[in-house]
Structure 1
Amino acid sequence: MKVHIEVVYKTPAGAEATFSSEMIQGAHALLIAEDFERTGRVKSMKFIDSYEQVWELKKLKEYMKEYETEPHNITVYFDGGYDLQSKTSGLGCVVYYEQNGKAYRLRKNARVEELESNNEAEYAALHLGLQEVEALGVHHMPIQIIGDSKVVIHQLLDEWPCYEDTLSRWADRIEEKLQSLHLKPEYETVSRKKNQESDRLATQALKGVEISSTIET
């Protein structure tokens, strides 16, 4: 969970000023807030999350205790591949998350036969990743989505038009899944080199090698 802090600071002489931070992790915000409070000069302080919800210090402390026990700081990498000769697709996704003070990496792939193009496989790979996020019980938080498919990410950002009905339906499925889980996506495109792990999972799926694992990192 990320928030930005708004503080009204009052000097001993009575001068006041309002300070606002950038978006930072909730745990870091609490540390900064405690440091501010030690000055004895804070007139008021509030925290605003990415959903524009306003939190008071006490409520944020209570929430963060619960938040740490659930999967959070979610990042999903995805990649899909399509083999024209066999008309099969390989899907790969990697989900990084934190829980109870530990970091984890979840890997999952799948081989499917009902898709018709590489772009459709890319969408399906992202949907696979979101299904894994849902299985973790993740909801009501920001989520970072990273892939090397410019088509998928630019279409989901509404920066590129989607003329193909098949891809449009996949985009709708992605949006519906995000909305049902109340997840706020942050999209990023990277080079294939920086997406090697999910690319490898997609290739393994095409070869019939099934992967499903979660390890502490």
Structure 2
Amino acid sequence: MKVRIEWIYSKSKSAEITFHSEEIEASQAVGIAEDLVRTGRTKSVVFVDQFDSKWTIKEMKGYLKGIETEPHNIIVYFDGGYDRPTNSAGLGCVIYYDQNGKSYRLRKNAFVEHLKSNNEAEYAALYMAVQELAYLNVHHLPVRIIGDSRVVINHLTEEWPAIEKDLSDWADKIEAKMEELSIYPDYYLVNRNANKEADRLATQALEGIEIEATIEVVT
């Protein structure tokens, strides 16, 4: 989770200044806040999350401790590929997450039939990714979701209306699953070059290569 630090600097009762940081990871923000308190010039310091809710240092440390053993800091990439002659599709998703002090990468693809368009394949890929989040027991967390489908991202951020019923039905399924898990999605549209991993998985699915693997990411 990313938060902003709101810090009131106090030199005297008549000289108080409020500072606001840019968004940073909550764990990093706690360390900075504790340093600010040690200066002796801090009247108050709180964290502001993406919903404008405010957290004390104690509350944030408790939250971070509580999610330590569960997947968190989650980033999802998704992509779908479509073969028109066979009405079949390849779906791909990559999920990065932290758990128990380590970082992991999950890769998953699937071959599916009876879809009608590349846009539907993109939606199906994202739905598969959300199902994987459910299998990981992800809940009550913000999740960054990244894809190169302008249609999917703009529909789900309500920049564009979902006019086609097939696509609207997929959007409803995805949003219902998100609500069930209390996941707060943060969508990012990127170019295809920035979505290579998920694109490759979708292509491999169409080629009949099935992949489902999770590895630790060592940096």
Q: For residue 147 of structure 1, what is the aligned residue in structure 2?
A: 147
Partner residue, 2:129: 129
Q: Residue 9 of structure 2 aligns with which residue? A: 9
Deviation for aligned residue 1:52 = 2.7
What is the TM-score of this pair, normalised by structure 2? 0.94
1:22 counterpart = 2:28: no
Aligned residues: 217
4+ aligned runs moved over 3 Å, structure 1: none
Offset, 1:108: 0.4
Which range is displaced more, 202-211 or 163-172? 202-211
In structure 2, the partner of 1:65 is 65
Inter-partner Cα distance in structure 1 for 2:153 and 2:115? 19
Query: 1:197 is matched by which residue type in structure 2?
Result: E
Name the aligned partner's letter for residue 71 of structure 1: P
Q: State whether structure 2 residue 31 is matched by structure 1 residue 31.
A: yes
Return the letter of the residue paired with 2:20: S
The answer for unaligned runs of 5 or more in structure 2 is none
Match of 1:41 in 2: 41
Q: Deviations over 1:41-88 (max 9, x none)?
A: 211222222233321211211221222222111111111111112221
- Look up the match of 1:55: 55
**Partner residue in 2 for 1:82:** 82
Q: What is the RMSD computed on CA atoms of the aligned residues? A: 1.4
Percent identity between the two aligned chains: 58
Query: Which blocks of at least 5 consecutive residues in structure 1 are unaligned?
Result: none
Secondary structure of 1:85's counterpart equals: helix
SS of the residue 2:86 aligns to: coil
Q: 1:12–1:162: structure 2 CA closer, same or farther, 3 Å change rule? A: closer
- The CA distance in 1 between the partners of 2:131 and 2:6, in whole Å, is 36
Q: Which amino acid letter does the alignment assign opposite residue 10 of structure 1?
A: S
- Cα distance in 1 between the residues matched to 2:109 and 2:50: 31
In 2: Cα distance, 1:159 partner to 1:51 partner:
20
Residues 115-150 of structure 1: CA distance to partner in whole angstroms, max 9, x if unpaired?
111110000000101111111111122111111111
Deviation at 1:30, TM superposition (A): 0.7
2:187 aligned partner: 187
Q: Deviations over 1:197-216 (max 9, x none)?
A: 11111111112211100001
CA distance, structure 2, for counterparts of residue 22 and residue 216 of structure 1:
30
Give the letter aligned to residue 46 of structure 2. Answer: K
Task: Spell out the pairing of 1:146-165 with structure 2 (5 A cutoff).
Answer: 146-165=146-165
Q: Which digits, 9 at most, give the CA deviation of each residue in 1:14-64, with x for residues without a partner?
A: 511112222211111111111111111211222222233321211211221
Matched letter for residue 41 of structure 2: R
Give the TM-score taking structure 1 as reference length: 0.94
Does residue 115 of structure 2 align to residue 100 of structure 1? no
**Which amino acid in structure 2 is aligned with residue 5 of structure 1?**
I
Partners in 2 of 1:94 and 1:66 — Cα distance?
25
The residue matched to 1:204 in structure 2 has which SS? Answer: helix
The corresponding residue for 1:213 is 213
The alpha-carbon deviation at position 107 of structure 1 amounts to: 0.3
